[in-house]
Structure 1
Amino acid sequence: MLELRELCKTFYAGTVNERKAIDHVNLTVPEGEFITLIGGNGAGKSTLLKLISGSYLPDSGSVTLSGKDVTYLPEHKRARNIGHLFQDPLMGTAPSMTIEENLSLAYLRGTHRSLAPATSRKNAAFFREKLRELDLGLEDRLKTRVGLLSGGQRQAITLLMATISTPKLLLLDEHTAALDPATADKVLALTRKIVRENTITTLMITHNIQSALDCGDRTLMMQQGKIILDLSGKERERMTVEKLLELFRQKSGEQLDNDRMLLS
């Protein structure tokens, strides 16, 4: 489904602030696999997802999606096949538009059709059913502006928007980090349900090490722009937070410095 080959990205090249964010990353992700991605501050996690989505273009290397080289394909064209959620619930939606209008835009993702047909009575019923599955009481609020929703409600809407037309690939960049613990748990549960029911190939960045081991099929750890750990199968099943922290120290020669991860 997804293949990264010798992917590199350096910011501020040739200046005193030069920083190698992604350093010759190689990764193969089979169709339907759910990967969790963890790492210290500045490890390159978000940059990696942005290279995949097209928000950034690499200095070298390649990104292949479903056998097609998309390395330099514009972000808006990749959006036909890639859903992308961010940490900030304010991103990914149009706050002045209604829930129905936001869902309609997502439903038409990657097409050139007008918005009007997507806001038909038939589609409104479809949107209500999808909203009912979120169990947040939003199915009767189609005409409510998204800017009036809580952070958790808005992030749930963003998740629905990213998956309402099932993407080939779903990228989740700490999409529960800005939410309170109860709401974060609910959005994470919704994420797992949607990914499982639709068999969506997924990469999810999380600061919660236990969630990284509990969710999905495979866990990657990054440091200084490289993938230093790749856990799956029995090795991952037997892994604990304490063992993972020790593995990080052994592989990187450093202690994990992300307080949010250590305190979660």
Structure 2
Amino acid sequence: MYTTISLLILSSILSILPHSSAYIPAYPVNDPVSPPDASGTNGTSPSESWLNMTSQSYNGGGFALKVSYSVVGAKSNGLAKGPFLHFSETNLTEDTTTTPWIALVSCDSNSTNASTTTDIFTLARQRGAIAAFLYSLYGERCEISRDYADPTNFDNRMDIFSAPMLTASQFIEDRFAVITTKYRNFNATLLNDSAAEVNATLFDGPVAQGFMFASLRASNATADGGFGDLTPIADKPQGNGGNPNTGLELNILYATVVAVLTLLSLM
């Protein structure tokens, strides 16, 4: 009996002690020009990468934006598709999902008591994420730490893509304005409940209600990147009276392994 009481007291004490938060192995930088690609080469054969966005609120129109392929996953085929969801440790639970999803992670700040052993991408992967996308609203772009980028140090990584400049990050965030709040952030229960609709969307079925979808595709991926052909931002209106020329230079070549990000949303 005394042992049981002691364990209960210890558990209560541990539950109220501050815990270490996972660290984000990336940081914002003010240089919008991407570094050498994630394979370690000098990016001698750059290709274009695009962020493609569409929803019924845009009457089927789409938007295109180049993105960078920052980290190659351990078993990557260069393609990841799923709901696109903000992910952080705020109100994070241990709940997991088998429904594929992509983590949208800000590199703008680390917790003051961040762990030195557990990273934010590991937390996302443990909860079912198949890829991650980094963005910054303070710097021009996110840069992965050299230690994390080294596959000999982290051998169980997933693909990580990133916005190449500040205006790209701002543009992505603005697209979430048409999404109902509950569909903007990671929620394992919601993903589990929506598994059938999400999987139908990923296999060219009807778009799952509420979610924004992303397809991340590296330039050397052989699989189909997803949700149809969309045209560049400059060639289509943004909807809601937006200016199509948001400062995103579509003719910039990034010296990186490139990716395609397709966003699909439905109110």
TM-score, structure 1 normalization: 0.24
Higher helix share: 1
- Relative contact order higher in (CA < 8 Å, ≥ 6 apart): 2
